[in-house]
Structure 1
Amino acid sequence: MRHTDFRERMAEEFGRLRAEMLAEDHVLSTLGGRTADQALEAGYSPKQVWLALCDVFEVPAARR
């Protein structure tokens, strides 16, 4: 998954504004206590970050 794909999926699932807020502000314990943006900057793959968000927000498997 590319970074652009990650951002598109975030916007589709959560809405553009909420997706931006989640990426900036929501801390994910499974990503070492980082936000999605921090995790991406730290070298986590967009797919790892996406799946971590899907787990936390219970995104159905069909949309993961």
Structure 2
Amino acid sequence: MRLSEFWRRMGEAFGPAYARSVASDQVVPQLGRTVDDALRSGVDATVVWRAVAAAYPDRVPSRLR
């Protein structure tokens, strides 16, 4: 997954402003760090997205999983 697609999905799931907050402030359990930290360290965007979807099943619609 390209980063542009990752951020599009984040924006759709959380809204643009809250998506940035989730990415920078919330530690995703499956990653053991924030989204921003994971992406910066080279974790594939698809892996990060799947971790986000698992951590926020009530926010991420099934069509985006």
The answer as to 2:48 corresponding to 1:49 is: yes
Q: Which runs of 5+ in 1 are unaligned?
A: none
Q: Deviations over 1:13-56 (max 9, x none)?
A: 1100110000001101211x210000001111111111101001
Q: Which residue in the other structure is 1:8 paired with?
A: 8
For 2:19 and 2:25, the matched residues in 1 are separated by 10
**TM-score using structure 1 length:** 0.89
Q: Which residue in the other structure is 1:61 paired with?
A: 62
2:13, 2:61 within 8 Å by CA — same for their partners in 1? no
Q: Which aligned runs of 4 or more in structure 1 are off by greater than 4 angstroms?
A: none
Q: Which runs of 5+ in 2 are unaligned?
A: none
Q: Which residue in the other structure is 2:22 paired with?
A: 22
**TM-score using structure 2 length:** 0.88
Q: Considering Cα pairs closer than 8 Å and 6+ residues apart, tell me whether 1 or 2 has the greater RCO.
A: 2
Amino acid at match of 1:36: V
